[in-house]
Structure 1
Amino acid sequence: MEKKDKGIVYLVGAGPGDIGLLTVKGLKCLRKADVVIYDFHLNAQILNYIRHDAEFIYAGKRGGHHTMTQDEINAAILQKAREGKIVCRLKGGDPFIFGRGGEEAQVLAQADILFEVVPGVSSSVAAPAYAGIPLTHRLYSSSFAVIPGYEDTTKEESAIDWAKLATGVGTLVFLMAVKNIDTLTAKLIEHGRRPDTPVAVIRWGTRSDQQTLVSSLEKIAAEVRENEIKPPAVMVIGDVVNLRSELAWYEKKPMFGQRVLVTREHSEGFDILEDLGAEVLLFPTVEIAPPQTWDDLDRSIDAIQTYDWLIFTSANSVRYFFRRLIEKERDIRDLGGIKICAIGSKTAGEIQQRGIRVDLVPEEFNAEGLIDLFIREVGQQKNGAPAGQLFQGMRFLLPRAGKARELFPEKVRELGGVIDLPTAYQAIKPEFHGKRLRRFLEEGRVTVATFTSAATFTNFREILGDGADELLRKVAIAVIGPVTEKAVVRAGLRVDIMPEEATVEAMVSSIRAWALKQA
């Protein structure tokens, strides 16, 4: 087999935890990969950027407990590459810093398989930075060393020259040091490091549950046990640790420690919470897809000039309607003379981007608000018309999701109007299992669960299965509006956050206000 006929392997560093620290090149490699082989110590949200049709292989590597041995990982990488696939070997931190990426690269080179290395941000520099600790500083340290903290302490001869390390380097950074912290600190003191040297241990650095413990070299081991600090953690030793009192920034963010669960298809609009220090966990419980058939919408588009009003209830309905309009070799000129109504400012904005003016936007972004608006609007034009004939002779087109409320259509018919309801898109339940999310909820690592529709809530309960309601009772529940609130209340749960205006932007503002009160 010629080399050009083989696949290619990208050894990608996923960074230390904060998803924003994934490199642009790393993201590009993820998005084009046919196969992704990934470890435990990386932000699972990164996996959301992988193609839905890509193959996922979990390699494990969690605190000495490996789902696959290194030989098995090497074999899997080689097999997939030899099948001509684009393989992304996704590793936490940087692949060439205690990540065995060098060994994997050697295996590929010896097999004559193309590979590239995409460096990642290592926790050795990122965790201290997020804790407000610079590894070097003109007044305190001009050198640093990164050392593995997991060396077998029963070995007769150590690979580390403790005498030189203890006094020859300004700042010491130990990775994976919690298990052997007693031995490590004792060795450093034994070989000349001051017992009162400042030390910081940073657990889950760069994540919303980052925990930083500051002590001295002689006391840190006992305090780690006392505070029940568990792996993964980075230990920083040196006078630069004293700068934390002045430079700490991440843990001071107003929403630090909050983990917000987003159950819609994307996290657009929730970004501001990340800027405030929260971590946004994307777990979509709905997936927007084309309808099973375009027949109903096609018939409505063919008869578009017969309608008086075209009503859009969501940005998705706008996107799919105009997608089909163009596919049928029509354009916005065919909408001449038809009035446009949009529920919500986001929906209106989606329409306006296409150069179309919106005639009506109800104050309440729901069916009730739409009914009131049309009764007032049409009532002014047909002053004195009998109640049952208010919409007489009027035709409405409402392209919408496959499942939707019938309140507005029923009212239109009750008032004498004609309304067509073609399916423009459908919200389906994705094929997910909620094992990881369930663990996060059980461990109290989610603080707010958000639901932007009754469907996102219903699907969430179905995906998690038994015990979903009990898990939700442990978190604050945020809903976008009254319809979603009713679905939550019917399940016997309490809604903690609901904006006055049913938009994502208003919902995010309400979550922010709630979090600041909790702080």
Structure 2
Amino acid sequence: MTETRPTVAVFRPDDDRLTAAVETLESLGVDPLGDPMLAVEPGGTTPRTDADYVILTSKTGVELAAAQGWDPAGTTVCAIGESTADALEQAGYAVDIVPEEFTSRGLVDRLAGEVDGARLEVARSDHGSAVLLDGLEAAGAYVHETILYRLVRPDGAGVSVERAVSGDLDGALFTSSLTVEHFVDIASERGVRDDAIAGLNDAVVGTIGPPTKDTAEALGIEVDVVPADADFEQLARAAIEFLDE
């Protein structure tokens, strides 16, 4: 008799990140349900080059800036996490600062003692946390934000909502606050919000970091797993270990 493998939903942009996430889950012995809750709309912009520090917050932002020919010569380049730092290095950029804690708050804490009076450029999506801008301004920096891309909900998203309603999800992995919000928005539009959230709460829910956890819990979703680092493979492994228990 063939043992049924647990089904785990994953919410990533419908590009190589979703493909990689599905492959990771398959390698860990579960049936992945890829539900692309995000799509990227490039803004055709680049980070300003007249700042003392420039902050990149995602692999997507790095790739878009590089494609536009961005040159950060003479600027201190900061990456909010390892995946962003890796993307910068792969694109040929030097990385000067990566905070120990891969969050907006972690980067604010890392820079707070040295940016009073400095010009900082924050280049990211249109859904970036206010924590970064507010924290750097409070530290005395002159902060400018450039929107490199917009994050929208793609057509066809939401297969996981129906699976949650029917009780056919064993796990769900949210990789940003926006993926949580889009899941709940779809459920609300379909008139099944309470049932979808109940289905999630009967499953193992993992979020990639504390901000995503806070968003989920504020919307009534119980979070079981948050990895030590904001890394998808860590999230997947931690959730499946919890599921096995």
Structure 1 and Structure 2 fold alike (TM over 0.5) = yes
Contact 1:309 1:395 survives alignment (8 Å): yes
Q: What is the aligned counterpart of 1:364 among 87, 101, 106?
A: 101
Q: Report the Cα offset of residue 503 of structure 1.
A: 1.5
Give the corresponding residue for 1:391: 116
Residue 310 of structure 1 aligns with which residue? 54
Q: Which runs of 5+ in 2 are unaligned?
A: none
Cα distance change on mapping 1:375 and 1:483 into 2, 3 Å:
same
In the alignment, which of 339, 351, 361 is matched to residue 88 of structure 2? 351
Q: Would you say the 8 A contact 2:10–2:21 is kept in 1?
A: no
**Equivalent-residue separation in structure 2 for 1:516 and 1:470 (angstroms):** 21
Q: Which residue of structure 1 aligns with residue 163 of structure 2? A: 440
Distance 1:454 1:357 in 2: 29
Q: CA deviation at 1:512?
A: 2.9
Q: 1:364 to 1:310 in 2, by over 3 A?
A: same
State the shift of 1:374 in Å: 0.7
Q: Is the 8 A contact 2:209 2:227 kept in 1?
A: yes
1:263 corresponds to which residue?
11
Give the equivalent residue in structure 1 for 2:203: 475
**Which of 27, 30, 39 in structure 2 is aligned with 1:278?**
30
SS at 1:446 equivalent: coil
2:226 aligned with 1:501: no
Residue 276 and residue 411 in structure 1: after superposition, are their counterparts in 2 closer, same or farther (change >3 A)? Answer: closer
Measure, in 1, the Cα distance between the counterparts of 2:157 and 2:229: 32
Cα distance in 2, alignment partners of residues 354 and 433 from structure 1: 31
The Cα shift of 1:270 comes to 4.6
Identity %: 26
* Residues 7-29 of structure 1: CA deviation (Å, up to 9, x unaligned): xxxxxxxxxxxxxxxxxxxxxxx
Query: For 2:40, which of 279, 288, 295 is the aligned residue?
Result: 288
Q: 1:276 to 1:506 in 2, by over 3 A?
A: closer
Structure 1 residue 307, shift from structure 2 partner: 1.3
Alignment of 1:394-433 (within 5 A): 394-432=118-156
Tell me the alpha carbon deviations over residues 104-136 of structure 1, each in whole angstroms, 9 at most, x when there is no partner: xxxxxxxxxxxxxxxxxxxxxxxxxxxxxxxxx
Residues 91-110 of structure 1: per-residue CA shift (max 9 Å, x gap): xxxxxxxxxxxxxxxxxxxx
- The structure-2 alpha-carbon separation of the partners of 1:438 and 1:508, relative to structure 1 and needing over 3 Å to count, comes to closer
Please point out which of 305, 326, 341 is paired with 2:78.
Answer: 341
TM-score (norm 1): 0.43
Counterpart of 2:116 in structure 1: which amino acid? F
Instruction: Sort the Cα spacing of 1:451 and 1:267 in 2 relative to 1 into closer, same or farther, 3 A.
Output: farther
Counterparts of residues 103-142 of structure 1 (less than 5 Å): none
Whether the aligned pair in 1 keeps the contact of 2:28 and 2:237 (CA below 8 Å) is: no
Deviation, 1:425, is 0.6
Deviation at 1:312, TM superposition (A): 0.7
Cα separation, partners in 2 of 1:424 and 1:368, compared to 1, 3 Å: same
Alignment partners' CA distance in 2, 1:463 and 1:498: 24
TM-score (norm 2): 0.88
Q: Following superposition, which runs of at least 4 residues in structure 1 exceed 6 angstroms of deviation?
A: none
Letter of the 1:486 counterpart: D
Query: Structure 1 residue 433: deviation in Å?
Result: 5.8
SS in 2 for 1:391: coil
In structure 2, which of residues 172, 177, 186 is the aligned counterpart of residue 449 of structure 1? 172
Unaligned 5+ residue runs, structure 1?
1-211, 213-249, 379-389
- DSSP 3-state at the match of 2:137: helix
Does 1:510 find its partner at 2:238? yes
Deviates more, 1:475-484 or 1:267-276: 267-276
Deviation of 1:260 (Å): 0.9
Aligned residues: 236
Instruction: Check the 8 A contact 1:270/1:508 in 2, yes or no.
Output: no
Q: Secondary structure at the match of 2:112?
A: helix
Amino acid aligned to 2:146: P
- Larger gyration radius, structure 1 or structure 2: 1
Deviation at 1:268, TM superposition (A): 1.7
User: C-alpha displacement at 1:438, in angstroms?
Assistant: 4.1
How far 1:505 moved relative to its partner? 2.2
Aligned residue for 2:240, secondary structure, equals helix
Distance in 2 (alpha carbons) for counterparts of 1:307 and 1:358? 15
